[in-house]
Structure 1
Amino acid sequence: MAHGQGAGDFASLRAEFALPESFPPQALAEAEVVAGDPLSCPGRRSDATDLPLVTVDPLGAKDLDQAVLLTRRGRRGFRVHYAIADVAAFVVPGGALDAEARRRGQTLYLPDGNVGLHPPMLAEQAASLLPGVVRPAVLWTLDVDAEGEPCAVRVRRAWVRSVEQLDHDSVAEALRAGTPHPSVAALPELGRLRRERAARRGALEPQVPEQRIRAEPEGGWALVRRLRHEVEEWNAELSLLTGMVAAKLMIEAGVGVLRTVPEAGDDAVDWLRRSARTLGVPWPDSAGVSEVLAELDPADPASLALHAATVRLLRGAGYTAFDGEVPESVGHGGIGSPYAHVTAPIRRLVDRFATEVCLAVTEGRDVPEWARRSLPELPRLMGLSDTRASRVERACLDQVGAWVLAERVGTTFDGVVLRFDATGSAEVFVRNPPVLVRCADVTVPEGSEITVRLTEVDVADRRMCFEQA
């Protein structure tokens, strides 16, 4: 829970990062035309409006990229129908909207409003898979066997119609009551199965403390601890499954763009083992990193510190494009498999291009030239966009943290020492309000509980200074 709240707006932050306030007139004009008359796209678009697809998103979301229908195949596993918004039907290749999307790279989420990749008339209306309306989509149909592994795939353009917009809480409540929506009744079983598979293939998912900014009813902002919803985890597995299948299709075809993270080397894993030993965390000789993490309680201070240390094994994230020869390193160390972004084209630039490649290779036709010639440029564009998104998110959290703590200089707070950096400064997770802070001259080791004192707050610079109490 949060303790205290902060008042203010994010106008200065938006100006600091030069975030656009609107779209160029030419881009808006294009969007208005295609919103009422979507573009013709390669491949035949079939009618799949009979599928009772549903969306599962955070409460209040309007930019709905994905709709799902899960069915069981007897004892043979599951069938996953996964409809993804077909943004290519709304963006003219080489046009003003395409150029603006390349400049933006992805939607940025700020507490006081989004900076969209696409105009709201598309992102929240014409392209969004809103309930009760027919929308163009890319429909992935994945057969998954009883072990949780994909065994057949079909990708096609289709017309779809979501029958209901669900959120994580409503899905969880219905599951607890024994009255799940039929379209996602199999989600817990398939979600757990896929998460078991993830641990076996060595996927790394550090459970580090996540912060979220919440608008307060009476005005102002508060920081709260973001606890990942179990339904959210299961739902994410569907996206990961689709991305892994997409990566395999592109690798086999020798053309595409992947999200890549180098696999941690033996030295890094040995270092993590030593950290576990120092923290007193058991690590059986036969266990891999993912298996150890799966057994830990992230609320335990030593476990929390080991999760934070594991983040260091996931450095070097980027994008790898290829056309012809497939690079030697195409894996994603965090997922334990090659992976591609294809499930969020409303919010992320690269998905539109990767999806177009997958459609072409599964239909046995050439990749459209507009998509193919853009592949080499995408790693740079997405790298710049990811960096900007990370910096904006961090700045928002620091700004709200400074607002919340501005009147509490001299107060002490309980926290956990997560790790030390190269300068000897400690990263400390303060529990309430949930803030990640730097603290010099800390005398207790990583994984220790600590009391820190707030010594200074500079709201304008978004800076908070702490010392060990």
Structure 2
Amino acid sequence: MVPPLVIRTHAAGGDFGHLRAEFVLPESFGPDVLAEAEAAVVDPLESAGEREDATGLPFVTIDPPGAKDLDQAVLIERVDGGGFRVHYAIADLAAFIPPGGALDKEARRRGQTLYLPDGNVPLHPPVLSEGAASLLPGETRPAVLWTVDVDANGEPTATKVRRALVRSTEQFDYETVQASIDAGDPHPSVAALPELGRLRRELAIRRGAVELQLPEQEISGDPDGGWALIQRPRNDVDAWNAEISLLTGMAAAKIMIDAKIGVLRTLPQPDPEAVEWLGRSAQALNIDWPEGKSVSEFLAALDPGQPASMALFADTTRLLRGAGYTAFDGELPELTTHAGIGGAYAHVTAPIRRLVDRFATEICLAVSAGREVPEWVRAALSEVPEQMSASDTLAAKVERATIDQVEVWVMAEHIGGEFSAIVLRAEETKAEILVEDPPVMSKCTGEKLPEGERIRVRLTAVDVDKRKLSFERA
């Protein structure tokens, strides 16, 4: 695995308080919200009779290092005939949140958890999100338990969803699980993850799923008190684990579509002109697009580490525009699919961190049990899509601003320095570049640059207040 690239800021570090003020992020929860959250923390065994006892299943969690808001726990079993049984336990937030109460109203206002380097702005109070609702190891927790049977080809054959009590046995991170699999000694609960993950990835490509394998910028704390920029390659376990979440989300979408009530994550198919434009971009970058290969097959075959591939992935973002949330009750909407996933999909696997999952989950539980969907869920369907879209927009702005801020802190002491960079998009007088070390996304001015190639650039100016960097070709 390629090691992450790191460069340290000046030892003084930096404060993100000004970003919180700029985006008017809430600093805390109101006393009524906190009181309701505290009152909701009860012994889960008090409701044990209403739930399936699944505490004997050896679930494990896979999350970033240090995470406390654990939404999902997984167990994958091989079954006769070469198939799999996926048990996926999801935190049951509805068990803690009275409809129409202070917690519910505040969650609808926030929409989702926002992640900043110096601390999260959580969707729910930490007493729930990092405590009573979180699937922490060794703790009995209320959960919504999905069991999806999958055949030897990776296709789902049966789905069951119900409320249960679960107990996670281990908390892992992606690197730890990857290392154990590479060493041939995986935890039994995820020993089948590589095989199932690969099958689901192959199916995703055949469905037409589009994955942009662009490098991800991350921020981590520096031992000296500053901040570090990291470009961390996505490992196989990360991709395979995501497939388990997608499998569950697609099963949830099917339940809702069959019942003609629900809320889906949707994305229209790209216009033919956009696909033609991508073909011209590939040709300009000297990337061969074999005849008969779909967009999904073509992109999946590219080496994401090559400069030309990175440039093409950057161009491909225009194929994935128009994502939204589509709610329906009684009549199916015109659009029920997500072009980036290659099928119908719904958010149900991250209710601690995302508002819509709680409502979608309640619909699936009711439909599966043959009950009427609760009225409070039906009433919310007209509002949740707009609430989620607004919070998505804010989350994207906050994430970009925090990365821009750390970039200028990192680069402030390097004015005049030269760096290796990859040209992602080029216009006549400026280009979007990815500086390789430190991993910085910025603009470079000057004559039209060679898209998809590696060049040398010089840092000419840093504006810390505006979070702007200026580069020119060296």
Distance 1:233 1:447 in 2: 25
Amino acid across the alignment from 1:18: V
Match of 1:63 in 2: 69
Tell me if 1:312 matches 2:309. Answer: no
In the alignment, which residue of structure 1 is the partner of 2:344? 338
1:3 correspondence with 2:14: no
How much has 1:129 moved relative to structure 2? 0.5
Letter in 1 for 2:119: G
Q: State the match for 1:18 in structure 2.
A: 24
CA distance in 1, matches of 2:84, 2:120: 36
Equivalent residues of 1:207, 1:308 under 8 A apart: no
Match of 1:293 among 285, 299, 307: 299
1:40–1:89 Cα contact (<8 Å) kept: no
Q: Which residue of 1 aligns with 2:359?
A: 353
* Residues in 2 aligned to 1:4 and 1:399: alpha-carbon distance in whole angstroms: 14
**Among residues 457, 467, 472, which one is paired with 1:462 in the alignment?**
467
Q: Could you list the runs of 4 or more consecutive aligned residues of structure 1 that deviate by over 4 angstroms after TM superposition?
A: 37-41
Alignment: residue pair count: 467
Task: Letter of the 1:84 partner, please give it.
Answer: I
Alignment of 1:259-270 (within 5 A): 259-270=265-276
Counterpart in the other structure of 1:132: 138
Distance 2:240 2:451 in 1: 31
What CA distance in whole angstroms lies between the structure 1 residues aligned with 2:360 and 2:185? Answer: 37
Deviation at 1:44, TM superposition (A): 4.0
Tell me the equivalent position of 1:110.
Answer: 116
Q: Distance in 1 between matches of 2:308 and 2:25?
A: 39
User: Is the alpha carbon distance of 1:142 and 1:408 closer, same or farther for their aligned partners in structure 2, counting shifts above 3 Å?
Assistant: same
Q: Distance in 2 between matches of 1:420 and 1:346?
A: 40
Partners of 1:426 and 1:442 within 8 A in 2: no
Q: Structure 2 matches for 1:31-430, cutoff 5 A?
A: 31-36=37-42, 44-420=50-426, 425-430=430-435
Contact kept, 8 Å, 1:39 with 1:89, in 2: the verdict is: no
| Contact 2:177–2:237 (8 Å) recurs in 1 | yes
- Deviation string for 1:12-44 (max 9, x for gaps)? 111111111110100000000001267999x94
Structure 1 residues 346-375: Cα deviation after superposition (integer angstroms, max 9, x where no partner): 000000000000111111111111111001
- Given that 2:459 and 2:469 are in contact with CA atoms closer than 8 Å, whether structure 1 keeps it comes out as yes
Shift of 1:424: 5.6
The answer to whether the aligner puts 1:436 opposite 2:441 as a matched pair is: yes
User: Structure 1 counterpart of 2:170, which letter?
Assistant: E
Which amino acid in the other structure matches residue 378 of structure 2? R
Q: Which runs of 5+ in 2 are unaligned?
A: none
* Matched letter for residue 468 of structure 1: R
CA distance in 2, matches of 1:459, 1:40: 54
Equivalents in 2 of 1:210, 1:424: separation in Å?
Answer: 26
Distance 1:153 1:459, change over 3 A: same
Partner of 2:225, secondary structure, is: coil
User: SS in structure 2 opposite 1:390?
Assistant: helix
Partner secondary structure for residue 373 of structure 1: helix
Percent sequence identity is 64
Report the RMSD for the aligned CA atoms in angstroms: 1.6
How far is 1:209 from its partner? 2.0
**Secondary structure of the residue that 2:416 maps to in structure 1?**
coil
Structure 1 residue 440: deviation in Å? 2.7
Q: Contact 2:311 / 2:452 at 8 angstroms: preserved in 1?
A: yes
Q: Which amino acid aligns with 2:458?
A: R
Q: Secondary structure at the match of 1:88?
A: helix
CA distance in 2, matches of 1:463, 1:280: 32
- Aligned to 1:465, what secondary structure does the other structure show? strand
Partners in 2 of 1:32 and 1:3 — Cα distance? 42
Q: Which amino acid aligns with 2:120?
A: N
- What secondary structure is seen at the aligned counterpart in 2 of 1:461? coil
Structure-2-length-normalised TM-score: 0.96
SS of aligned partner of 1:99? helix
SS in 1 for 2:161: strand
Deviation of 1:280 after TM superposition, in Å, equals 0.6
| Closer, same or farther: CA 345–39 of 1 in aligned 2, 3 Å | farther
Q: Which region of structure 1 is more displaced relative to structure 2, 71-80 or 2-11?
A: 2-11
For residues 100 and 46 of structure 2, what CA distance do their matches in structure 1 show?
15
For residues 33 and 146 of structure 1, what CA distance do their matches in structure 2 show? 46
- Judging changes above 3 Å, is the alpha-carbon distance between structure 1 residues 293 and 434 closer, same or farther for their aligned structure 2 residues? same
Instruction: Give 2:248's aligned amino acid.
Output: T
Match of residue 457 from structure 2:
452
Cα distance in structure 2, aligned partners of 1:428 and 1:368 = 50
Using the alignment, how far apart are the partners of 1:2 and 1:133 within structure 2? 36
